[in-house]
Chain A
Amino acid sequence: MTIGLHHYLVVSLIVFCCGLFTVLTRRNAIGILMGVELILNSANINYIAFSRFGSGSYDGQVFAIFVIMLAAAEATIGLAIVLGIYRTFDTIDVEATDTLRG
């Protein structure tokens, strides 16, 4: 069987769904961040797939590298926020961070 575009898209979809599920259901803050990384990576897979099979140009692959860099920066900031949360709440359980409730 030839591996076509849609295989990559399905894989990316599965990764995206896993990532979404992780973000929505994890209690651990770092777990949520991992989920975000999964979502970003699924987007990357999409880019590269479309770059190989779609337009034939290398724009997609270049953009994927930007995304990786962006994910790294975003992870840094996210971890800094988690550190802040830990300092405030003595835990990184997001169930505990409900002091902004109305």
Chain B
Amino acid sequence: MSHPIEVHYLRWIVLLPLLGAAVNGLLGVLIQRRFGKRAISFVACAPVVIAFLLAVTAFSRLVSLEPEHRFLLDRVSQWIHVGHLNVDIAFWVDPLSAVMILVVTGIGGLIHFYSVGYMADEEGYWRYFAYLNLFTAAMLTLVLGDSLLLLFVGWEGVGLCSYALIGFWYGEWKNASAGSKAFIVNRVGDFGFVLGMFALFWVLDKTGQGTLVVRELAERAHLLDGQHVWGWPAATFITLMMFVGATGKSAQIPLYVWLPDAMAGPTPVSALIHAATMVTAGVYMIARLNFLFDRAPETLHVIAAIRVATAFVAATIGVAQNDIKKVLAYSTVSQLGFMFVAMGVGAYEAGVFHLFTHAFFKACLFLGSGSVIHAMHHEQDMRRMGGLRRYMPRTYATFLIATLAIAGLPPFAGFFSKDEILWKAFSSPHGSTIVWLVGTVTAGITAFYMFRQVFMVFFGDFRGADHAHGAHEPDADHGHGHGAHPLPHESPSIMTLPLVVLAAGAILVGFLNVPTALGGSHVFETWLEPVMEHAGIQARHGLEHVHDPTEYVLMLLSVLVALGGIGAAWLMYAAKTVDPAIFSDAWGGVPYRLVYNKYWVDEIYEATVVRGVILLSRGLAAFDRVVVDGLVNAVGTIARLASAANGLFDKYVIDGLVNLIGAVMLWLGNRARQVQTGHIYSYLYVIVIGFVVVMFARLM
């Protein structure tokens, strides 16, 4: 990469939302009381809008430059200069991060506006927007940071805000524990990230070229060849560790368990964090470090295999869920799996493109579901919905468009991005037919369960009036009463307008990356090319002018599979000709229960990891209590005994001696006293006897 152009406005893209968070966080209570929720909304939305405008400015600046020079850098300040490690706070924009900041600020801005409507009755309004802004700032730091360390700061920041926002309604223990679960599981992944980062710096430092700044890493990546970390090839170890980090952040097997529980948070949060931004951080990170991953083909194979399995498993779980948000949560896990599959086969641009399109239609789906939930007074069980297209036409239309996109039907966006991934999985040197096959089947299942959702929610008769005193639904997030629901109505414009914008996006953005096989020019992938140019082996997209006819066949196949899924859903849930019970009761109902209970993964974790950690902590606590405290108490007891012995010694021996001397004196005195008889004649006797003795002595 050549020399970057220095600018000074990139920092504001991060700082403005941060400022909004600070004002709303510290002064929010006062502002809300004095000026009302309007002021809070303004303080929260304005920075994001301005950040979006700045992002557009940066983007257009990049467009005006030559592809090899598309690179803006904003150095903010010095940070860490210790030994060989030199990291400054600096933000940079290249084609990849330009795409990301447009997504974060653009879609984030729409979600901010949507939240104004959705959270309007919320007392903690200011707290919500403070966290939302803080999240935006952290995500932008992640994307704009020019070094892995700054990226990690943003990485941790989004994890923290995710915890805060999922557990927003912390009064209920379920929500708070979902937030904790998200954070803790993320942390496990972050451990991998940190190890990878350390290993990377350490290995490079051995050759004297240690750095964590991404563009320098790109240039020095070749120094990793032949190096080893703990017996593993350096590139493989580092990329595997980074992959673990991505697994946690992007909710993939085995660290995905937090994402379905995260639906306990407000729906706009699910849209922003768990559809468009935070969960895509893992994908972004791998795309950013594509030059490292290309040096570790084993890691790429692992990624592709685990991710396609994740996509498949998550899709199967999604088929059986009845909570409208849980379906979307599992579909997010599944679609993220697709993105990572793209990375795993070396098609980084395709993965990022799917990230881009997915942000639009998934955010639209989540916000649409939020609109439904809002209208249903926080009812989330799809079995109690139905026929809503009559009452909520705009929500229905946008939801339908987004579902068509995710199912992968042309000309919607999802078709172009998903199909690109499947094609690359089939044809790239890193890909494999099995991956393609599982991916295509998963795409079919995706179409099925997404349209199952559409038919259950929007078609048929409204079932909300039937369940007057139904059984308690554990997935309802606010525990509202389950009496008969009044007929739902369309949501206010401030909520439906973002839906319209996002749906338009879901239709249009697909055309940014039309493959040359269909006459397009792969604009998006061409745009990202300079970022990937350091990647050694990559799946070169169709610059060939001779098109492999297989590509057309596969394209047709994926459309047919999608239509098949939609058709099956139609038969089961709209036309009601096929009874879904046939499938749920098949084979003794075991497969259905397996899938409905999400393969009991949470329960397995509970029994093994959680139980294990608790036992360990109890064991250590017991050790502390018995052994350590025992030792301390023993020392104390010994001291006490010693002092008692000392006391006895003092009392009997020393005092005894002193008393003995006194007694001896007394006895002597008593004896001596007896000389004084007081009788004169005894004195005279003594005189005489003494005289005689003296006389005799003299005579001797």
Contacts and interface: CB of A to CB of B under 8 A. Distances in A.
A98 B678 contact: yes
A17 B684 CA distance: 14
A57 interface: no
A95 interface: yes
A101 B684 contact: no
A25 interface: yes
Contacts of B672: 102
Contacts of B33: none
A24 B676 contact: no
A24 B684 contact: yes
B684 A100 contact: no
Interface in B485-541: none
A30 to B, nearest CB: 13
A101 B688 contact: no
Given A24-B685, A24-B688, A32 B680 contact: yes
Contacts of A24: 681, 684-685, 688
Nearest to B681: A24
A101 B677 CA distance: 4
A24 B677 CA distance: 15
B680 to A, nearest CB: 5
A94 B672 CA distance: 22
A45 interface: no
A67 to B, nearest CB: 18
A5 to B, nearest CB: 20
Contact of B674 (A23, A25, A99, A102): A102
A25 B673 CA distance: 23
A1 B140 CA distance: 160
Contacts of A94: 679-681
Contacts of A99: 678
Contact of B678 (A23, A25, A97): A97
A44 B491 CA distance: 157
A94 B678 CA distance: 9
Interface in A12-63: 20, 23-25, 32
A2 to B, nearest CB: 30
Contacts of A95: 679
Contact of A102 (B675, B680, B681, B688): B675
Given A20-B688, A24-B688, A100 B681 contact: no
Contact of A98 (B674, B677, B684, B685): B677
Nearest to B677: A101
A102 B673 contact: yes
Given A24-B681, A25-B681, A94-B681, A100 B676 contact: yes
Interface string B661-698: 00000000000111111111100110010000000000
A63 B622 CA distance: 110
Nearest to B673: A102
Contacts of A102: 672-678
A23 B678 CA distance: 16
Nearest to B672: A102
A54 B506 CA distance: 167
Contacts, number: 31
A31 to B, nearest CB: 11
Interface in A63-102: 94-95, 97-102
B105 to A, nearest CB: 115
A5 B230 CA distance: 134
A9 to B, nearest CB: 16
B681 A101 contact: no
Contacts of A20: 688
Contacts of B676: 100-102
A46 to B, nearest CB: 15
A97 B680 contact: yes
A20 B691 CA distance: 12
A94 B673 CA distance: 20
Nearest to A29: B680
A33 B465 CA distance: 146
Contacts of A32: 680
Contacts of B674: 102
A20 B678 CA distance: 20
Contacts of B679: 94-95, 98, 101
A101 B680 contact: no
Contacts of B677: 98, 101-102
A99 B679 CA distance: 9
A97 B680 CA distance: 8
A20 B681 CA distance: 11
A32 B16 CA distance: 131
Contacts of B688: 20, 24
A20 B684 CA distance: 9
A100 to B, nearest CB: 5
Nearest to A94: B680
Contacts of A98: 677-679
Contacts of B675: 102
A100 B674 CA distance: 11
A34 to B, nearest CB: 14
A69 to B, nearest CB: 24
Nearest to A100: B678
A102 B672 CA distance: 8
B141 to A, nearest CB: 104
B676 to A, nearest CB: 3
Contacts of B678: 97-102
A32 B678 CA distance: 16
A49 to B, nearest CB: 20
A56 B672 CA distance: 50
A83 to B, nearest CB: 16
B677 to A, nearest CB: 5
A23 B673 contact: no
Nearest to B676: A102
A23 B680 CA distance: 10
A54 to B, nearest CB: 20
B567 to A, nearest CB: 134
When A and B form their complex, which 3 residue pairs have the shortest distance between CB atoms, in order from nearest?
A98-B678, A101-B678, A102-B676
Given A94-B680, A94-B681, A101-B676, 11 more contacts: A20-B688, A24-B688, A25-B681, A94-B679, A97-B678, A98-B679, A101-B678, A101-B679, A102-B672, A102-B673, A102-B676
28 contacts: A20-B688, A24-B681, A24-B685, A24-B688, A25-B681, A94-B679, A94-B680, A94-B681, A95-B679, A97-B678, A97-B680, A98-B677, A98-B678, A98-B679, A99-B678, A100-B676, A100-B678, A101-B676, A101-B677, A101-B678, A101-B679, A102-B672, A102-B673, A102-B674, A102-B675, A102-B676, A102-B677, A102-B678
